[in-house]
Structure 1
C-alpha cells in the first residue's frame, strides 16, 4: 500500500477519491518533480496537495466489488434462501414496488 500524508491526513493512493463536486480522482502511478503524487481525473492531472487544497475535502470512495465477492453473495446459499422464500426475487420486489410493472 502506497500512502501520502497531507496535514496529518493519510491518503491510500490505491483508493479513488471524490472531491466536493463529485469529481473522481485516482493516482496516476506517477510523481511530480517535488515528489508529490500526480492525481488523474477525466479533465487532466494535478498533484495531490493541489487537489486537496483547491478541491477538498476528498472523500475515499468505497472499493469496487469484485466478481468473487458477487459470487459469494449470490452463490448457492443465496439461491437456496431465495428458493425457500426467505429472500424475495427481483420479480416479487418489482411486483410490490411497481404493481407488477417492471
Structure 2
C-alpha cells in the first residue's frame, strides 16, 4: 500500500505523525475513504475520537506539520564522523574516563590581590597645601 498521499501538490508521508495548528497530533489509521487517508488523534482524551479525512483535516485545522522521530545515536555518529568504525579501530577514540581525566585540571591558584591602603590613594584635596589655605581664608580662620 502506498504511504505517500498528495493533496494540492503537497506530499504527506502517512508513516509520520502530523500536528495541526492547535498542537493536536494526528496519525493515519491505515484506512482510506474515496482514496483519501483517514487520520485520527493520537491522544484523544476529551477530544475527537472520530477519524477525519486528511483533506478535511488539512482545510479545517491545517497546515499540518510533520513530526519526525529524533535521530538515533548512530545517526549522530554518521553525521559527525561517517567513518566512526575506522576512527575507533585506529585508536583515535579515548575512553570516557581518559577524556575526563585529560580535561579535568586543578584550578590555577590566583595570585594574592593587593589590598589598597591609604598610601596608595592620591592625596585628598583637603591635604593639599594651597586648598586648605584657600578654605581657611574664606572661612575667616587661620590655616593650621
- Identify the TM-score tier after normalising by the shorter chain: 0.5 to 0.7
Deviations 1:32-90 (A, max 9, x none): 1x11100010222100000100000000012255xxx35x47xxx8993465129xxxx
Distance (Å, rounded) in 1 between the aligned partners of 2:24 and 2:94:
37
Which structure carries more relative contact order (alpha carbon 8 Å, separation 6+)?
A: 1
Task: Tell me, in whole angstroms, the C-alpha distance in 2 between the residues paired with 1:79 and 1:18.
Answer: 42
Unpaired runs of 5+ residues, structure 2, are 77-87, 102-144
Pair 1:60 & 2:66 matched: yes
CA distance in 1, matches of 2:94, 2:23: 36
4+ long deviations beyond 3 Å: none
User: Could you tell me the TM-score, scaled by structure 1's length?
Assistant: 0.64
Residue in 1 aligned with 2:54?
48
Greater percentage in strand? 1
Count of equivalent residues? 79
The TM-score, its normalising length taken from structure 2, stands at: 0.47
- Cα distance in 1 for partners of 2:56, 2:97 equals 50
Structure number with larger C-alpha Rg:
2
Tell me how far apart the structure 2 counterparts of residues 57 and 14 of structure 1 sit (CA, whole Å).
17
Structure 1 stretch 13-22 or stretch 56-65: which is displaced more?
56-65
Structure 1 gaps, min length 5: 87-102
